[in-house]
Structure 1
């Protein structure tokens, strides 16, 4: 794939996530052309108008509402459309209804002649990324789910807050499903170049207390979406910023390491499933997957998470024909 000079991004879905993502693109000057598509054409038009009115404060960009024909020369198509997660509902509860919506969307995008990169944000993101790969017929490296990019960001933020260091100096990862079966790769969690156990010593934190506190931090990360949904109805700012970061890595050909959902072909003793792992992202999509040498207990958690996702993929397999 060759990145066009226009750095064109199409956003499908002008809900909370899609609108926040478009806003992030404009604020960060990431794209030069942004198209917004939604079944509610008035909402898409209104968002485009609103964003255009901020152009005097931003980098130049062409922003407008459109239809699926606009995808033909897009570098990136981001799908943020679909049914939202309701209070008390898990991300996997959404699988059947959103698979039907996605089949229609992806077919329309591909009918335009699209040959770029899909970014998937809608939940359950791992299952819907797999479905998009199947529906589109594109190479798996060009269908990327947001995966655990937000979970990892939450994890790093909370660890930085706990230890009193800049979150950008925390190197830690949440792997697996973007959902209840995700887990922290404690074996590969560092602050600077120190393990969390070693860094806890520099802060004079009792090892037993640190272990208890760190488990609480992970539980808050895992359940963060439920807490936010209870308070404001939906989560959108954090994931929008994560999608913007992914888009920037693609358009700038950064070769950045980000925890995304991608197809495994034997990595982590797993195959034929989209799941959250660290990967190198460049202008071609997923350049390569980083396979951590996980200890047996963490590898077991990874495989259990993959099993959950495979069971949900089977639920929507009928839509792939």
Structure 2
């Protein structure tokens, strides 16, 4: 197929591009880091693609979400709205829209609820997503529904805490990897360490996305494991795997996000089951040399 990947140089985009090319697809890869802005294509482009993966995003990590909300909000809203206007004009075979677990209501993630988040839970309190990034992703899902109502084919996926051995230190897993490789002591963790996340390896994110496309899944569908691991637990996994026993220092004044975010993988497991455990992911990460992203 003739495939477009936006944000192709990013953590998700480059892995997805590799997987598509390995399948024999012809990939047009665009990324602002390589001098090609997706916004330019969306505003002026008329070429039709069989499949579109919209991975381009503005700083989708916690420090930027909390520290630069206007940049994150306005930038991602502009990208997503331009995507669907372009898609309505060019009518690609299918668009894959990457939403986020941040679209879920924060009232279901405050620690008092320990039930896995189900896809329809976004309807309970739609006015309470996680910060501006979650609000933009919730709006993107609404745009996707409108696009579908007009005859467009669109798959909406909600990745939870994606991670991998080459992830940027802007994200917890990547930061922990760098600290463990450097054998830092104290080993710092943002927040009090009790924040729980559903960690899903990037190989499984890609596998789940491609399975969703191959099965013509409209979604939304969670990309998750259903297993929660706290930041403190993850930090200790890294230290043990690295073979040292640091003192852990928890920085309560740094951005830490919601208390408990674990997804329900029931819908995903109908088409794909994640294969890489968080323990295996840590081992893989420490087997690699540091990458400065």
TM-score by length of 1: 0.38
TM-score by length of 2: 0.41
